[in-house]
Structure 1
Amino acid sequence: MQSRCLNTRSSGITAQVQTRRLPVSRSSVTCKAAAQDPLLLRVARGEEADRTPVWLMRQAGRYMAEFRAYSDKYPFRMRSETPDIAIELSMQPWRAFKPDGVIFFSDILTPLPALGIEFDVIKGKGPRIDDPIRSMEQIKALKTLDDPLNSLPFVHEILSSLRKEVDGQATLLGFVGTPWTLAAYAMEGKADRDCKQTKMIMFNNPALLHALLEHLTTALITYVGYQIEAGAQVVQLFDSWAHHLSPEQFAEFSLPYANRITEAVRAKYPHVPIIFHANGGTGKLDVVAGSNADVIGLDWSTSMRVCRQTLGPQHKVQGNVDPMVLFGTQEVIEAEVKRVLLEAGPQGHILNVGHGVVQGTPEENVGYFCELARQSGKIHQEQQQQQQNQHAANGQLVGAAV
């Protein structure tokens, strides 16, 4: 195995990246249930645990100075598609804060070029697609994702390398954008606050939108499987544009396609839990409850207590601290995290923020957030003891009254 250093310099900051070139292999990584499996994986499967696991969406993200040493120097796609860099960016938060999950540094739009939809990410402006999908002819001309190892080889190298780096000390998470989110990006050509072009197609030519969703669903089933074969132990389906949809639109244009991915992946990889996170999904919980994912990710706009009551005990949940809480004092962070932990209960919950860690978040507060999760077993025990003491006191009062 060869090892070398990739040096990057930006604004006087030097980052040393220890890299390992690993052979790309088509052999699958077996992830059978075992007692030594990492905590987050076991909880996502529904197993009992002595504390609540934690990871942070966008944890390989903009809030770290170490990360910005790269983002100031290299364009996004170079960072996300160069294994040496992507591996380093994925590992930075884990080395700093030791969360229970390591999410590989990538982008929701990563699989699109393999389908013939090129994109770029413009710093300060976000993704751009110069030739947005607006016709049936364009959809018919799209490629199929028959050989992702050939068309997206860097994904395999990043994930397989991370799996070795983490070495069972945390759960390796893959992630994929849902068909709706990818379709909306592909039709808009950029982020749009009204999702105007896509919704015009939705209302005037819904068959066109459904055709693109069908094509993307087939490709994403393959893409999720590819990530699992490369080493992902849990995969999150991220519907980042769900907030653009009404409950009725979500039930037609998003959830059925996400459910098809989960169903197909589970049939082949039953040992790999799927998380479904819809940004804006708590506004349509009654529809989101129809997800067949193993874990439902929750944004922060509804209390965890309401989410638990609406979704029922059959659903494991993830979330849902307001990411802006991490700009608060430690007392505020502790109070909010404890509230979410206690409302979620001691089992079937993965602590996370409700969407993503915001740029500028103090890094020490991210560390404190993760530390509170490591204290969650004690937090739940203290609540249980308080409840037992209260029941005992109530019983004594009743006895005295009799």
Structure 2
Amino acid sequence: MSFPKLKNDRILRAARGEQVDRPPVWMMRQAGRYLPEYHIVKGDKDFFEVCHNPEIVCKLTIQPIDHYDGIIDAAIIFNDILVIPQAMGMEVEMVDNVGPQFVSPLRKPADLQKLNFHCDVTEALGWAFKAITLTRHRLEGRVPLLGFCGGPWTLLCYMIEGGGSKIFRFAKEWIFRWPEYAHKLLQGITDVSVEFLALQVKAGAQMLQVFESWGGQLGPDEFDEFSLQYLHQIANRVPERLAQLGLERVPMIVFSKGSWYALDKLCDIGFDVVSLDWLYPPEEAVKVARGRVTLQGNLDPCVLYGSDEIITKKVTKMMNGFGKQRYIINLGHGTHPFMDPEKVGFFLKECKRIGQQQ
């Protein structure tokens, strides 16, 4: 498949550990509700109805690239991590002011019978691949396009809890009461994730990120058993699947929120980039990483509610801590719907300005 020539490969070079003129910058959840133009395009359509419409997805993905023209170094496709449970046969609704809600969560091992562990990813998620291809063309090579999926442990949590949770009672019950069935579910999610990620690259994605958003809900031992080994599989199996498809390997990022204790291990499982939340001091992360991977992060998103002076102070400290090379600037989690687009723009401009002065 032929695509427009890439004009800005800064983030790809940074991910591979190559020299860059300044650290690249993008934001998790950068295509979304904080932009007024998002609401104009989305209108009153259901969230997943939007996700299934390649034309709308394309527009939403490119909105921040247009809004902050010349500042953001990557686009990330507008989608949701819960499309994998949907592909496996689960029904999910996005409820306003509540979040995702599963109609029939998995509460007992017998409920695994509801799932299609061998779903046809090409058919079930074909709309996602069409959106990526369309967006890649419409970007006209301005910046690389990222694809993504949820981490297996995180998806297990949603599928079992039925939505977000504060104590993760049901997910924890599975790993401590029925660990063999938890592993069966995690392996099934991993298998689908590998195919989904590889086919996103086939469709046009130039970089991939795995969001293990609930990684920090596990202790160190449980993280090794119920998250790390499956993330390791994804990091190694996706390149193998790409080779089978006749495609070149693309840089891969892992983001495991709250898993500060696992940074050393995350640097060794095959990802090119490890993204950090705001709980880890940049200088310490650099010492742990020891140049094995590129680091990404890690500004507390709520800093963007602060004054311009505070934003400059916090961004400067963060960027000085990570350094200019082997670093991608990002937030420590996604943007919020309540954020002022002007403050977001100030943050992005400061990242570019300070990076050029380093």
Which of 217, 238, 243 is equivalent to 1:244?
Answer: 217
Contact 1:44 1:294 in 2 (8 A): yes
Amino acid at match of 1:185: Y
5+ unaligned residues in a row in structure 1: which ranges? 1-27, 381-402
Report the 3-state secondary structure (helix = DSSP H, G, I; strand = E; otherwise coil) of the residue aligned with 1:51: coil
Which of 301, 316, 320 is equivalent to 2:298?
Answer: 320
Contact 1:42 1:48 in 2 (8 A): yes
1:1-80 matched pairs, under 5 angstroms: 38-70=9-41, 73-80=44-51
Deviations 1:162-196 (A, max 9, x none): 11111221110001001111111111111111111
Which of 34, 46, 55 is equivalent to 1:84?
Answer: 55
Identity of aligned residues (%): 33
Question: Over the residues paired in the alignment, what is the CA RMSD in angstroms?
Answer: 2.0
1:288-307 matched pairs, under 5 angstroms: 288-307=266-285
- How much does 1:272 deviate? 0.3
- How much does 1:286 deviate? 3.8
Match of 1:391 in 2: none
Match of 1:97 in 2: 68
Q: Distance in 2 between matches of 1:222 and 1:268?
A: 7
Amino acid at match of 2:175: M
Match of 2:245 in 1: none
Moved over 6 A (4+): none
- How much does 1:148 deviate? 2.4
- How much does 1:363 deviate? 0.6
1:280-359 matched pairs, under 5 angstroms: 280-359=258-337
Amino acid at match of 1:65: P
Q: Distance in 2 between matches of 1:377 and 1:200?
A: 46
**1:213 and 2:191 aligned:** no
**TM-score of the pair, normalised by structure 2:** 0.92
Q: Distance in 2 between matches of 1:285 and 1:38?
A: 26
- How much does 1:344 deviate? 0.8
5+ unaligned residues in a row in structure 2: which ranges? 243-247
Contact 1:43 1:350 in 2 (8 A): yes
Which of 127, 130, 134 is equivalent to 2:107?
Answer: 134
The structure with the largest alpha-carbon Rg is 1
Q: Distance in 2 between matches of 1:149 and 1:219?
A: 11
- How much does 1:308 deviate? 1.0
Deviations 1:305-354 (A, max 9, x none): 11111222112110001111111122211121111111111111110000
Q: Distance in 2 between matches of 1:227 and 1:146?
A: 16
Report the 3-state secondary structure (helix = DSSP H, G, I; strand = E; otherwise coil) of the residue aligned with 1:190: coil
Amino acid at match of 2:339: T
**TM-score of the pair, normalised by structure 1:** 0.83
**1:228 and 2:206 aligned:** no
Deviations 1:225-255 (A, max 9, x none): 1111111100000001112111111111011
Relative contact order, higher structure (CA 8 A, sep 6+): 2
1:267-286 matched pairs, under 5 angstroms: 267-269=240-242, 270-286=248-264
**1:195 and 2:195 aligned:** no
- How much does 1:68 deviate? 2.7
Contact 2:61 2:77 in 1 (8 A): yes
Match of 1:3 in 2: none
Report the 3-state secondary structure (helix = DSSP H, G, I; strand = E; otherwise coil) of the residue aligned with 1:121: strand
Amino acid at match of 1:200: E
Deviations 1:260-317 (A, max 9, x none): 0110112244530110001112254344344321100000012111111122211211
